[in-house]
Amino acid sequence: MVNVKVLEAGLFTSIQDLGRKGYMRFGIPVGGVMDEFSASVANFLVGNAASQALLEMTYVGARLEFLEEMHIAITGANLTPKLNDQDIANWESHRVKKGDVLSFGGLVAGVRAYVAFSGSIDVPAMCGSKATDVRARMGGLRGRALQNGDGLHIVVRPEYRLRRVPEDSRPCYLSSADLRVCLGPQEERFTPSSLHDFLQTEYTIKVRSDRMGICLEGSQLAYRDSTEMISEPLVMGSVQVPPDGQPIVLMADCQTTGGYPKIATLLKAALITLAQMRPKDRVRFMATSVQDAQKQYQEFYARLCALKAQIQV
């Protein structure tokens, strides 16, 4: 039974979760949300587990009518959310009643916003996930982004309290950022001057960027020789360098294998920062050790766990 009607779908709104883990060996991308922090926190605000499916909206928000009472939360990019044309806050939960309409105004900061519901989105799981992969036409609502007139069925779980994220735990979205990376696994295939430029010069995000990869423009990186590389596995955060010398950071919907040399791999926090940046924003790369990357990875999930306990207490 439909209890959320999509009056307007926005630019690109899709059902996402934390992705399909364990299927890359079959050529199936992990996919899932681009900003794991914002998506997880949105779910925490309505009493869900971090893994629950929710809506990811890019640049332009959707317009949704609720046909049943439930709680919602909006996190990530500030798309100026409104409930019945009255401004409401990001990073807080809200009670909606039958007939209420959620809409969005202009983009203020960030790129991707998340809307979580107090319950589960009733769509089939494929390979253990409800995440939408539009290229493979799998997951979500018939394997595509939402369209005007679509209906969603939320299996509503009773929720009795409103929650908010403390101000000092909310991210700030900027037009420039330093992104931490681990060099490799093929940094030895690049000239010394290219390695220097990669870490010392600024790159600009190109318009040609999406959920598959974010293309950068800056100092041209050169290979030591023209020997072709055998294709090998890729991960979200791999920084591939094709023959034109301009880096591409692979994102959530990236392919599972590739043959371009990879100069570096972004840390999780850096990936989330990049996912919320816009074309013409600027980034610099900062090298760190594998040991430090592992420490920061653990700290990321410890922070999420602590925030969940704080919010859901």
CA 223 to chain centroid, in Å, comes to: 31
- Run of H or E residues at 291: helix 290-311
Instruction: Identify whether the C-beta of residue 32 lies closer than 8 Å to the C-beta of residue 16.
Output: yes
- Kindly give the parts of the chain with pLDDT less than 50: none
Residue written as token pair 């409401």: 88
CA distance 114 to 87: 17
CA distance 95 to 72: 6
Give pLDDT, residue 20: 96
Write down the domain spans for the chain.
Answer: 4-169, 176-303
Three-state SS for 185-250 is CCHHHECHHHHHHHHHCCEEEEEEECCCEEEEECCCCCECCCCCCCCEECCCCEEECCCCCCCEEE
Give pLDDT, residue 12: 97
Residue written as token pair 């100069």: 263
Contacts of 269 (CB under 8 A, 6+ apart): 180, 296, 300
Three-state SS for 57-69 is EECCCCEEEECCC
Q: Quick: pLDDT tens for 62-100.
A: 999 999 999 999 999 999 999 999 999 999 999 999 999
Strand order in the sheet with 101-104: 86-87, 81-83, 101-104, 63-66, 4-8, 151-152
> Of all residues in the chain, what percent are helix, strand and coil, respectively (each to 5)?
20, 35, 45
Ranges of beta strands (E only) in 26-164 are 54-58, 63-66, 70-78, 81-83, 86-87, 92-96, 101-104, 109-117, 119-121, 151-152, 154-156
Three-state SS for 68-82 is CCEEEEEEEEECCEE
CA distance 186 to 20: 26
CA 297 to chain centroid, in Å, comes to: 16
Give pLDDT, residue 75: 98
Give pLDDT, residue 313: 67
3-state SS assignment for residue 253:
coil
Q: What is the pTM of this model?
A: 0.96
Instruction: Identify whether the C-beta of residue 270 lies closer than 8 Å to the C-beta of residue 203.
Output: no
| Fold of the 176-303 domain | Cyclophilin (2.40.100)
Give pLDDT, residue 229: 87
